[in-house]
Amino acid sequence: MDGLNNKPIGSSRRIANMLRWVLPLCLVLMGSLAQANILLLLSSGASYYQETARSLQTTASELGLPASSFDVVTIDEAGHAESFTRPYELIVAIGTSAAYEALKQDKGTPLLNIFTPKSAFDAIDLSAGNKDHCQVSAVYLDQPLSRLITLSCLLKPEAKKFGTIFGPISQEVQSEIQALTDKKGIILIHNFLGKDDNPVAVLKPVVSESDLFIAIPDHAILNRAIAKWILYLSFQQKVPVIGFSKAYTNAGALASVYSSPEDVGKHAGELIYSWLANSDEDIWQPQYPRYYTLSTNPAVARSLGITLPSESELYEKFQQQEHSKQ
């Protein structure tokens, strides 16, 4: 009480006037958030879709969006529960199948597709355009190529030749990765792998000429068998591999950069809250995941004679490189 009594009368009046304006605004905001109605549509009951949904809800809840704002169903459950007959402010489709189902069932509700590859979303976006859908956006699953290059340069800074293979889908990013390596004075050794090609014949000359190999996502060709050949031939030639998933690191890559279900869900939760609370339109710009995870394989590093920094040191250096580009 003494502290309040010692304040100048004018200051108290200014505070009272501020509260007179701020409190009603806060109440309006809280009311609009409390009334939010969002459908989280999962492609299936797979654990990674569920983890993405939980992370999204947790993040949005911590920011102030009530847990009751969300209905969570799989596409199989949605048909039985008649979910698409209810009015929603937003549908969040988790995975590619969920996005196509949302487009098929609902033509007017804004759609945010998350945890899907960029190439898959581009096809979804085209489909949405053909159906005159309201608004469609995405938080991709894959990483910007610049992150793969950054990680490669941090772990093997003396490398002068980076190798990779392109497939029917990933060939679309060939000019982008070529520009990124050219900018750093690195030679890009590459080849094309078609569905009917002999993977060893395509991979071997690329790996043998490279100081480091970068695996680029391409679901048309990069199946488990091809990944095994990449890792086997690279190990033979003592060439480190930079991958795009924790599974790649565990299987024998030196390191990977990827976004986990938790990473993608957190980003989506922040976008949704900003859109509802602040009318932030950033949500309608398709974007790569804001958050990412780095994983390394110390056993592979030892076999290649590469000294790995600690995970915290690597992450700090990686963040510095990322921030310097912004």
pLDDT in tens, 271-307: 999 999 999 999 999 999 999 999 999 999 999 999 9
Convert the pLDDT of each residue in 140-161 to its tens digit. 999 999 999 999 999 999 999 9
- Look at strands 241-243 and 212-214 and give their pairing: parallel
Q: According to the model, what pLDDT value does residue 126 have?
A: 73
Token digits of residue 135: 């608004």
Q: What is the CATH number of domain 36-140?
A: 3.40.50
With cut-offs at 50, 70 and 90, classify the pLDDT of residue 22. Answer: very low
Check pLDDT > 80 for residue 32.
no
Domains 36-140 and 145-258+292-324 share a fold: yes
Helices 47-63, 261-278: inter-axial angle, 10-degree rounding: 40
Count the alpha carbons within 13 Å of 59 in the hemisphere toward its beta carbon. 21
Long-range contacts of 280-283 (CB under 8 A, 24+ apart): 283/112, 283/137
Q: pLDDT grade, residue 30 (50/70/90)?
A: very low
CATH topology for the 145-258+292-324 domain: Rossmann fold (3.40.50)
Mark residue 238 as left, alpha or beta (left: phi above 0; alpha: psi -120 to 50; beta: remaining).
left
C-alpha 118/C-alpha 200 separation (Å) is 28
Instruction: Tell me the per-residue pLDDT of 59-74, one tens digit each, with 9 for 90 and over.
Output: 999 999 998 999 999 9
- The structural domains of the chain, with segments of one domain joined by +, span 36-140, 145-258+292-324
Average pLDDT, the chain: 88
Nearest CA-CA partner of 38 in 271, 253, 309: 271
pTM for this entry: 0.86
What stretch of H or E contains 84?
none
Q: What are phi and psi of 41, to 5 degrees?
A: -105, 115
